[in-house]
Amino acid sequence: MRAWVVSFAVAVAVSGAAWGVAQDSAPSAGQNPPSSPGASAPAPVAQPPLSPPPSPDSPVTPPPAPPPSTAPVEESSRPVRPGIPGLTDVPASPTPSRPGMPAPLPPPVGAVAESESTESILSRAAGLIEEKKYNDAKGLLGAVLARDAESVPAKVFLAQIAEATNDFTAAREYYRQILGSQPNNFEANFGMGRAYLAARYWRQAPFYLEIASKVAPEDRVAEVYTLLATAYQGERRTDKALEAAEFAVRRDENSFEARAALVALLVDSKKFDRSVEEAQRLVGLAEETRQRTPGSREMVQRLNAAYETLIRALTEAHNDLYERNARGEPTDRLTAGREARAAELLQSTAVYLVAQADVRRLLALYQPIVLAEKAHEYSPRDVPTMLLLAQYYRETAQTEKAVEMCRKALEVEPQNVRAQQMLSGLSAGGAGEIP
């Protein structure tokens, strides 16, 4: 679930940076993120000067919420620039039983013994959520709520399932129930902020995210500030958005989402040289992560997204080198003295486009793998299909699967030369050829 949340943060960060809708300011719920000493150099890493966490009994007055059955037409109807590609693949939203209320929970799959502890049921539900078996998880969570109608862990899980299926109205309702008894609950405030960002209610989101920033566990601070940057940019508070994004990167230099959000904000703030530098770091980070997890489709998608971000930064930096006409529009006349910089940016763009093409080719192999796996399921003794799968697995660094498929082919045809050659090549680390 954590992986989905941070992927969502990047997608909203990029689209929100371009199409923020100005609204009235939300009530301040905490101190703003620390300011950096300058736009060109990040401040030293330091703990944010946040005030102590508020008392659980202290009153919390949330900003006015929109009617649950209506969406803000002027916000949601605007065209939205796509988020970073490959990071926002979520199922369609279920239909609530009535507007503003979560749908009824299904009965649990299998019997839940009275002797089974609530902790055990919640653990099973968490495993089902990781497997994206949301209906089964809902059944178990319903059993927990039957025991304790105010169970906070169960409601948090149900809210996160609603988020994962794009039912943000139901998610807000679950979080709102938690906040009624625990106004400073981290998961509820953070989740409420995410849900409002998903609906592009920029005015409401900062209130909850600022509370979350004050009570966040150490390993979640960067996540919160990444979303705060998005919320501030949605309100067109660009300086605060940059401060929040920079602080998120300082807290976790290996956060792909935080650095991607920072690059998007730097580009939209026309800080092109720094945006290119940060985007290059983003590509390096994505490549390192992919090498540590070979065969992961998600990591290939992330690397492709990083190249997309870098190429956009290079393109915007190059376009900024041209003269403007009286209306401030770019012309085709390069500004005098900027020829060397223009050539450098164009050459870099060409190199990275070729690199991205290789990544996209690798990414494109995952769809044929799905088809070939289904063909193998229907005809499990067909050797050409096995060899095709073996080659695709090899191309996508899924070496163990490739070896297994070659061995299966040799069980059917022990003298198959192609299977023997591929198995030998895999053992030696050879690339082989697509048959």
Q: CA 390, CA 174: separation in Å to the nearest integer?
A: 46
Same domain, 12 and 99: yes
Which of 362, 380, 399 is the C-terminal boundary of a domain? 362
Helix or strand holding residue 404 (H, E): helix 399-412
Q: CA 101, CA 173: separation in Å to the nearest integer?
A: 7
Same domain, 118 and 139: yes
- Tell me if 263 is assigned to some domain: no
DSSP symbols for 131-176: TT-HHHHHHHHHHHHHH-TT-HHHHHHHHHHHHHTT-HHHHHHHHH
* Residue 152 burial (10 A CB sphere; 0-12, 13-18, 19+): middle
Q: What is the pLDDT of residue 104?
A: 65
What are the beta bridge partners of residue 330? 324
Q: What is the pLDDT of residue 330?
A: 84
Same domain, 90 and 147: yes
Which of 324, 345, 362 is the C-terminal boundary of a domain? 362
- Tell me if 170 is assigned to some domain: yes
Report the number of distinct structural domains present in the chain: 3
- Tell me if 262 is assigned to some domain: no
- Tell me if 328 is assigned to some domain: yes
Classified as helix, coil or strand, 18 is helix
Same domain, 159 and 86: yes
Domain range for 300: 270-362
Tens digits of pLDDT across the chain (435 residues): 555 544 555 454 444 444 443 343 344 444 444 433 333 334 433 444 444 444 444 445 555 544 443 333 333 333 333 333 333 333 333 333 444 557 666 665 556 778 889 999 999 999 999 998 999 999 999 999 999 999 999 999 999 999 999 999 999 999 999 999 999 999 999 999 999 999 899 999 999 999 999 999 999 999 999 999 999 999 999 999 999 999 999 999 999 999 999 999 999 999 999 999 999 999 999 999 998 988 889 999 999 999 999 999 999 999 999 999 999 888 999 999 999 999 999 999 999 999 999 999 999 999 899 999 999 999 999 999 999 999 999 999 899 999 999 999 999 999 999 999 999 998 876 444 433
Q: CA 83, CA 148: separation in Å to the nearest integer?
A: 39
- Tell me if 250 is assigned to some domain: no
Same domain, 333 and 187: no
Beta strands, E only, 220-283: none
We report the CATH number of the domain holding residue 409 as 1.25.40.10
Same domain, 26 and 172: yes
Buried/exposed 166-176: b ≥16 CB within 10 Å, e otherwise: ebbbbbbbbbb
What pTM does this model have? 0.68
* Residue 237 burial (10 A CB sphere; 0-12, 13-18, 19+): buried
Same domain, 218 and 132: yes
- Tell me if 72 is assigned to some domain: yes
